[in-house]
Amino acid sequence: MRIMKFVLQKEFRQIFRDKTLLKMIFIMPIVQLLVLPMAANFTVKNINLSIVDHDHSSYSQKFISKIFSSGYFKLAGDNPSFLESYVLIENDKADIILEIPEGFERNLTRENGQKLFIAVNAINGVKALVGSGYLNSIIMDYNNDIRSQLLQPTTFNLMPTIEVVSSNWFNPNLTYYIFMVPGILVMLITLVGGNMTALNIVKEKEIGTIEQINVTPLKKYQFLLGKLIPFWIIGMIIFSIGLMIARFAYGIIPIGNIGLMYAFLAVYLFTILGFGLLISTYAETQQQAQSLAFFFLMIFNLMGGLFTPIDSMPEWAQWITRLIPISYFINVMRMVVLKGSAFSDIQYHLLIVFVMGIILNGWAVINYKKTS
Amino acid sequence: MKETVIKTENLTKRFGDFVAVDAISFEVYKGEIFGFLGANGAGKTTAMRMLSGLSKPTSGKAIVAGLDVFTQPEEIKKNIGYMSQRFSLYEDLTVIENIKFFGGIYGLSDKQIKQKSEELIEQLQFQNEIKKLVHDIPLGWKQKLALSVAILHEPKVVFLDEPTGGVDPATRKQFWEMIYQTADKGITVFVTTHYLDEAEYCNRISIMVDGRIDALGTPRELKEKFSATSMDEVFYKLARGAKRSDN
């Protein structure tokens, strides 16, 4: 116990003396948490729409103003011909072309029907899909408006329709950052926890001070605990700062128990620090450690369900996500923050992450040999 | 009767087919300055790593401070000090923080640490440097500090692995004065060097060639045996037969 006091004192001194590292640890997560959720927004807006109106009637004018009043579209050009609009698509200035044929109004009122032409630039698949979806629903809506106008005399609706009214649970306004902030916080904890521990231990290897430690009576576990405990505490602090940012910058108040989140965090940090420790046993230089950590953290972040839903990944990819600790924590954070899930809902997540922690740390300790 | 502090019998270390240390046998006595010489790659560092419990020998026997390197490496670590050519204090800690940290992990009490660090600072004339980062003090001073820290816990043996590498002659002389003071306290000094003039300062020296000890004795004995006028000559006569080289 007394020896641990000296070891921890040394580690904290070194961490707090390294001003660059300190900024990395504390400022970077704060900045990222303030910037990323605002920027990483999947709500598709500002779809550039080019309109080719051959009709110039009051109906087509009404139709066009209805489209733009939705707020999703931006006029990219009002061109007399399709070809001119197509140039806009080629130059990436327009995403969708809507062509209103001549006789739009006449055909609608007299022939009881009219076809419209939509051309979508599908290079950005998400934008194309969502954009044409919006447009379709606006057209449907417009269609209904006209129908009710034209069929005014009748007192009942001749056409039976099914209207779907959806209500969003847990995030009623579909606010994007309520969903993203808890996930990004987990990502930051993972980056700091995994990376910093690995670098810190490898630094001692690189400078050679680990040789000096190895000839002292300091035990292997004491040395490693000295490395892990400070980052465990730092992880807790970053998480707390993150919750405050979520509260005061985004107004996110977790519905579930905060204590439960901290309990999960405690176990998660144990696991992710074990990951960093394992990396450090395989790397001889800080550069190697950084590259190795980067490789895994990249996969963690892209496959952990932060940006893309795991449910829509292919089967084999879903299996990989089950091996990624971050995917469990992101899931748990969203469950607890948005749904108010209780211990019974997350106990399996907790167990799995804990078992992963045992495996990673055990593996690392076996690998970290004091005597060769 | 001289008290034996280090004793090896046919101590061997193999890495695959390569025999780094080939059945070396020697004894080192209490309070002695024992020089361990050899060209680069002769096996000095490997031998030293085995004696300090860092590396497990392949075969043979070795006792350090009355403890067996095979079965009690952790016990040995409490009884030895070690200073390597790769500078071994923490550069991002201050002088006093390094002293406290190493004192602490060797299990010294707060009172002992306080007393020892005062003595040490007095002896090294470090009064103005104690709050400086080790990074910011000159190399020669760092090495003197490293030696002082290595013997802070009063070990039975201190291993010095090329301690004077890259240091100017004046500082080297001061460093050897410190080595003598250390030996006077009864601490055995086991030192590797490739400065052959330094070999003359040792009580006894051994010269390793290709993993074996080819010569062992006082500097005077060796010079007589090889009918040489200096240690330089002794060394070249022996090294000429070496098969291993740096490349």
In this structure, are residues B46 and B213 in contact, taking their beta carbons and an 8 Å threshold? no
Average pLDDT over residues A331-350: 90
Window from A103-117, B58-72, B75-89 with minimum mean pLDDT:
A103-117
Contact residues, chain B, for A208 at CB < 8 Å = 84, 86-88
CA distances from A80 to A240, A286, B119 (A): 58, 62, 94
Q: Nearest C-alpha of chain B: how many angstroms from A214?
A: 7
Show which of residues 353-372 on chain A sit within 8 Å of chain B, judged by CB atoms: 371-372
Query: Cβ B92–A18 below 8 Å, yes or no?
Result: yes
Q: Nearest C-alpha of chain A: how many angstroms from B142?
A: 14
pLDDT at position A80 over 80 = no
Interface predicted TM-score (ipTM) of this complex, two decimals? 0.86
| Percent of chain A residues past pLDDT 90, beyond the cut | 31
B contact test, residue of A10, A199, A370 with most B CBs within 10 A? A10
Average pLDDT over residues B148-166: 90
Closest-CA residue to A182 (of A323, A33, A13): A33
Residue B29: strand pairing partners: B4
Window from A80-94, B120-134, B212-226 with minimum mean pLDDT:
A80-94
pLDDT at position A372 over 50 = no
Q: Is A30 helix (H, G, I), strand (E, B) or coil?
A: helix
pLDDT at position A58 over 90 = no
Residue ranges per structural domain of chain B: 4-87+134-239
Query: Cβ B86–A211 below 8 Å, yes or no?
Result: yes
Q: Residues of B near A (CB-CB distance < 8 A)?
A: 52-56, 73-74, 77-78, 80, 82, 84, 86-93, 97, 100-102, 104-107, 159
Write the residue in A3, A13, A14 that is nearest to B105 by C-beta.
A3
Contact residues, chain B, for A12 at CB < 8 Å = none
Average pLDDT over residues A142-155: 71
Window from A52-56, A149-153, A257-261, B216-220 with minimum mean pLDDT:
A149-153
Provide the H-helix boundaries in A304-342.
Answer: 315-321, 325-334
CA–CA dist B108, A157 (Å, integer): 93
Task: Give residue-wise pLDDT tens across range A177-212.
Answer: 778 888 889 998 998 888 888 998 899 988 888 888
pLDDT at position A120 over 80 = yes
A contact test, residue of B46, B105, B117 with most A CBs within 10 A? B105
In this structure, are residues B184 and B93 in contact, taking their beta carbons and an 8 Å threshold? no
Contact residues, chain B, for A6 at CB < 8 Å = 100-101, 104-105
Q: Nearest C-alpha of chain B: how many angstroms from A128?
A: 55
Q: Nearest C-alpha of chain A: how many angstroms from B50?
A: 10
pLDDT at position B235 over 50 = yes
Which residue from A minimizes the CA distance to B153? A216
Domains assigned to chain A: 2-40+175-367 (no CATH), 47-150 (3.40.1710.10)
Query: Cβ B84–A17 below 8 Å, yes or no?
Result: no
Which pLDDT does position A109 carry in this prediction?
79
Distance from the Cα of residue A51 to its chain's centroid: 34
In this structure, are residues A304 and A331 in contact, taking their beta carbons and an 8 Å threshold? no
CA distances from A170 to A254, A257, A306, A343, A349 (A): 11, 15, 18, 18, 21
Residue A18 forms contact with B (CB below 8 Å): yes
B contact test, residue of A1, A3, A6 with most B CBs within 10 A? A6
Higher per-residue pLDDT: B246 or A67: A67
Contact residues, chain B, for A5 at CB < 8 Å = 104
B contact test, residue of A22, A209, A213, A215 with most B CBs within 10 A? A215
CB atoms within 10 A of CB A227: 22
Domain B4-87+134-239 has CATH 3.40.50.300: yes
Average pLDDT of every residue of chain A: 86
pLDDT at position B247 over 60 = no
Query: Cβ A214–B54 below 8 Å, yes or no?
Result: yes
Average pLDDT of every residue of chain B: 89
Write the residue in B73, B91, B93 that is nearest to A13 by C-beta.
B93
Band (pLDDT 50/70/90 cuts) for residue A217 is: very high
Residue A17 forms contact with B (CB below 8 Å): yes
Query: Cβ B88–A214 below 8 Å, yes or no?
Result: no
Residue B161: strand pairing partners: B192
How is residue B112 written in tokens? Answer: 């002992």
Task: Give residue-wise pLDDT tens across range B87-134.
Answer: 679 999 999 999 999 999 999 999 999 999 999 999 888 888 889 999
Contacts of residue A127, defined as CB under 8 A and 6 or more positions apart, other chains included, come to A44, A47, A95
Which residue from B minimizes the CA distance to A19? B92
Which pLDDT does position B166 carry in this prediction?
78
Q: How would you label B70-100 residue by residue, b for 16+ Cβ within 10 Å and e otherwise?
A: eebbeebbbbbbbbbbebbbbebbbbbbbbb
Query: Cβ A218–B105 below 8 Å, yes or no?
Result: yes
Contacts of residue A289, defined as CB under 8 A and 6 or more positions apart, other chains included, come to A198, A199, A202, A279, A280, A283
Which pLDDT does position B33 carry in this prediction?
95
CA–CA dist B12, B21 (Å, integer): 5
CA–CA dist B203, B36 (Å, integer): 11
Which string of DSSP letters, residue by residue, matches B10-31? EEEEEETTEEEEEEEEEEEETT
Task: Give residue-wise pLDDT tens across range A267-293.
Answer: 999 999 999 999 998 998 999 999 999
Pairing of strands A117-120, A96-100: antiparallel
Which pLDDT does position A240 carry in this prediction?
94
Band (pLDDT 50/70/90 cuts) for residue A155 is: low
Which string of DSSP letters, residue by residue, matches B54-119? SS--SEEEEEETTEETTT-HHHHHHHEEEE-SS--S-TTSBHHHHHHHHHHHTT--HHHHHHHHHH
| Percent of chain B residues past pLDDT 70, beyond the cut | 97
pLDDT at position A345 over 60 = yes
Which pLDDT does position A57 carry in this prediction?
87
Contacts of residue A120, defined as CB under 8 A and 6 or more positions apart, other chains included, come to A95, A96, A128, A131, A132
CA–CA dist B63, A316 (Å, integer): 57
